[in-house]
Amino acid sequence: MKEDFYVDNNATTRLLPPVREELERIIHTSYGNPSSPHSQARFGRDLIDDARGMVSQFLGALPEQIIFTSCGSESNSIVLQSVLKGEKFKGDTVVTTSVEHSSVKNNIAFLEKYGYKVFFLPVDHRGIIDIDKLAVLLKTYDVAIVSVIWAHNETGVIQPLEKIVELAHMYGALVHTDAAQLVGRQKLSLRDYNVDFLTFTGHKLHAPKGIGVLYAKDKDYLLPLIIGGEQEFGLRAGTENILGIGALRIAIEERIKNFDESLKKLKILRDSFEVKVIERISDVKINGNTEMRTPNTSNLMFKNLDGRAIVARLDMEGIICSQTSACTSQIPEPSLTLRAMGLSEDEAFGSIRFSFGVDNEEEQIEEIVERLEVIVKSLRQFNAAVYL
C-alpha cells in the first residue's frame, strides 16, 4: 500500500506529539470547573492564564487583549456582529475584500441586510487589493471598519496590512484582520501593525479543532455572541475549553522554539515542490503573488484539466490536497478568489492548493510529484482521446 502524504495543512493540521501528550495530561489531571472556588479549579485557571500569556507573547500583545473562542469563525463573528450592535462603532459603511473567507463574507452580508453600506475591494491578478480604491472609499464614506484577510487560505497571498491600517486610521476607521493562515507562518508583533482586531484558530497550528483566538486592542468595542457567565472578560460565556486552550499553549510554545527553522523548512518544501512540478509537467502556472505569500502554500493551475478530477485521483494515490477553503469545498462552483484574480472559470476549476506542514519531509516531495505527473499525463491522454 502506498504511503499517504498530507498536504492540505491550510484546511487543518495534524496534532504535534507534544500537543497530544498535553491533551493526555489535562484529561487525567483536570476535572474541576475553572470558575469554581475550590482547589480542583485552580489547575484550570492556571492553565488558562498560562495559555493567555503564551498567546500574548506570541502576538506581541497584552494578556488582557486575548479572548479564547471556539474557532476563527466565532472570533470573526464577535467582531463583525459587534459593529451592528455596539454603540462605540462610528460610521455606516463596511469595507472588505472580494476574496474573504466565508465567515467574514457572510457576516458582512448580514450587516448589509441591516442597513450598512458594504464595499468589496477588488484584487489584481496577484491577489493584492487595490489600495487606491480603499483610499477613495475612506475619503468618500463614513467607514466603521475595514476587514481584510491578512494571508489568503487558497493562495497564501499576504496583503499589505501595515498600509491598510495606516490609511484606515487616518480616516477614523477600525481594522479587523482574519489571520488564520498567517499566525505561525510569519513572525509578527501587533505592536508594529496597530491593528484593532485579529483572529486566528489553533487547528492551523497543530493544535486541536475547537479553539480560536480573538485579539482586541480595545475590548470595549466588543459585545458577546454568547451571553451568560463572566468567562473571557464577559465576552464569551460558557465553561472554558481547557483541553483546547492547554493544547494551543503547547502548539505555540513549539512554534516559538522552532520558529526560524520551521519557516525555513516550509519554504524549502514549497519551493522544491513548485520547481519539480514546473520542470516535469507542462502548462502549469502558479496562481497569485509569488513574492508576498506564506511559505507553505502553493496554488497551481493545470491548463485544460479539471482540478476536481486531479484531486480525486491524487486522493486515490494517497496524496491529500484540496482546491478551495474547506468551508466552501461543498459548493459546486469554481474558486471565487481565483475568479476575482482574473482567472477564467476553466482556469479556476483547473487549480489546486497544496499546503505543507512542519511534519512533511523533503523526501516526500519527489514521490508526490511523481504521482502527480502520472495522473496529469493520464488525464491529458484521456482528454486527447475523447476529443479526437
- CA 188 to chain CA mean position, Å: 15
Q: Annotated catalytic residue: which of 327, 328, 339, 364?
A: 327
Measured distance CA(374)–CA(384) in Å, rounded: 15
Measured distance CA(224)–CA(208) in Å, rounded: 24
User: 55 is written with which cell numbers?
Assistant: 498567546
- Provide the β-strand partners of residue 146: 95, 175
Residue 71 bears catalytic tag = no
Return the CA Rg of the chain.
22
Measured distance CA(183)–CA(55) in Å, rounded: 11
User: 208 is written with which cell numbers?
Assistant: 486541536
| Amino acid identity, position 141 | Y
CA distances from 29 to 23, 36, 44, 260 (A): 10, 16, 10, 33
Measured distance CA(254)–CA(243) in Å, rounded: 17
Q: Which residues are catalytic?
A: 327
